[in-house]
Amino acid sequence: MYTVLQRRALNAGVTQLEIEAPRIAGKALAGQFVILRADERGERIPLTIAGTNAARGSVTVIFQTVGGATMSLNAKREGESISDIVGPLGSPTPVEGYRKVAVVGGGVGTAIALPVARRLHELGAHVTAIAGFRTRELVILEEEFRACSDRFFLVTDDGSCGEKGNVCAPLNRLLAEETFDAVFAIGPLVMMKFVALATKPYGVKTIASMNPIMIDGTGMCGCCRVSVGGEMKFACVDGPDFDAHLIDFDEAIMRNQTYAAFEAAARERHCNLYKKGEPQ
């Protein structure tokens, strides 16, 4: 069993948990993830490691409550335990050798972008961070980003906090005026697609972190397949980071929408069975 050391609500729907897992904490690198279960009957869910503390032997995960598995995880309080946590999985984000970078995060994807920005900053790179959200109420990790970046741009769709617009607004201005060694994009698929489109004319190396449907996390199920440069890759073992200019984002978006439709139908069915008192 793995004890919850600290619980923090980042906004109404996003929670941060620090979990005791010393063996993972001692090995995890930026960009890697874990698969965990809240309890013995729970669903396996992949979550990127948002931070580690080797001294406390802990890993931090950040998640949005969107279904039964995350609801169970969100119900955990400090001192309680989760059933299983496996990791670190996936390949670390390639962060070595960069002098000037931009890290672009969107929504809950900023939780994945944060450890990348932090590690780049520790290695001495000049880090420009851009974080985008729909509205002020959804903003998370602002102070953490400011602490590990040389410049920080906050944007919201409705202009209720920071600059009004999407992450490409400040990014396009910067690309027109400056040169970057690399841009790291982490967030919704559509966001990452347009970041890649923005950087491609400038020839700037762009790395996107893919988070497709995932089950086992070891490359056996094939659910997390992604088309990269015309080849099929598995996000869990070949990624999750890929050259954004080679990713078939349209295919990934279509697969994600198909899954979302099936998930919505299954959720409605379970709710109807529950109301009728029938076994699920």
CATH of 94-206, one of 3.50.50.60, 3.60.15.10, 3.30.1490.190, 3.40.50.80: 3.40.50.80
Alpha-carbon distance of 15 to 59, in angstroms, equals 14
What is the second-level CATH architecture of the domain 2-89? Beta Barrel (2.40)
Res. 144: pLDDT tops 90: yes
Alpha-carbon distance of 172 to 198, in angstroms, equals 7
Q: Please state the domain extents for the chain.
A: 2-89, 94-206, 210-280
Note the pTM of the prediction, 2 decimals: 0.85
Looking at the chain, the whole-number percentage of residues with pLDDT higher than 70 is 90
**pLDDT (0 to 100) of residue 258:** 66
Q: Which of 58-72, 181-195, 211-225 has the highest mean pLDDT?
A: 181-195
**pLDDT (0 to 100) of residue 263:** 54
Confirm if 219 and 138 have CB atoms less than 8 A apart: no
Alpha-carbon distance of 229 to 243, in angstroms, equals 9
Question: 215: Cβ–Cβ under 8 A, 6 or more apart, which residues?
Answer: 44, 221, 223, 224
**pLDDT (0 to 100) of residue 264:** 56
Alpha-carbon distance of 36 to 38, in angstroms, equals 7
**pLDDT (0 to 100) of residue 216:** 66
Res. 130: pLDDT tops 50: yes
